[in-house]
Amino acid sequence: MYRNILVPVAFDEGHDTEAAFLAARKLASDDAKFTVLHVMEAIPAYVTSQIPDEIMAHSRDDANKALRQMAAGLPGATAVMATGHAGRGIVDHAAAHDIDCIVIASHKPGFENLFLGSTADRVVRHAKCAVHVIR
């Protein structure tokens, strides 16, 4: 059983967050703590310079609100928002916070994954802890 479980989430429809939460609960020890993490990809400066500051702040607030609502589906979970590359951000967060298990939902890979790789694939290859992939 795991004591410090990270559940990365995405806001798109291709990831089954509920299945990841269910798996995390089943893998958890009685005193486990959960972190629900969303990594927002950084927007290039040439794009953000054209978007008013209040719209950028409102967008981040909306994402934080959606993350907190999603994290409520996993009782006692802490919601964490990060910025950067998703795969690297998940692995770095796990290493920095002594995570012993990552439960990540994954979409079915398509042709583009032959060249780019999916976030779940990168997490599986680089995480120093156990990784459970939910399809």
- Please say whether the structural domain 2-134 has been given the CATH code 3.40.50.620: yes
C-alpha 77: how far from its chain's center? 13
pLDDT at 116 (0 to 100): 40
pLDDT at 97 (0 to 100): 98
pLDDT digits (tens, 9 = 90+) for 92-123: 999 999 999 999 988 766 655 554 458 888 99
pLDDT at 115 (0 to 100): 43
Strand partners, 79: 36
pLDDT at 42 (0 to 100): 85
Name the residue among 17, 104, 106 with its Cα closest to residue 67: 17
What is the C-alpha separation between 38 and 134, in angstroms, rounded? 16
Q: Is the pTM of this model over 0.95?
A: no
Strand partners, 82: 39
pLDDT above 70: percentage of residues in the chain: 91
- Which band of pLDDT confidence, cut at 50, 70 and 90, is reported for residue 23? very high
pLDDT digits (tens, 9 = 90+) for 51-100: 898 998 898 899 999 999 999 999 899 999 999 999 999 999 999 999 99
The residue ranking higher by pLDDT, 57 or 8, is: 8
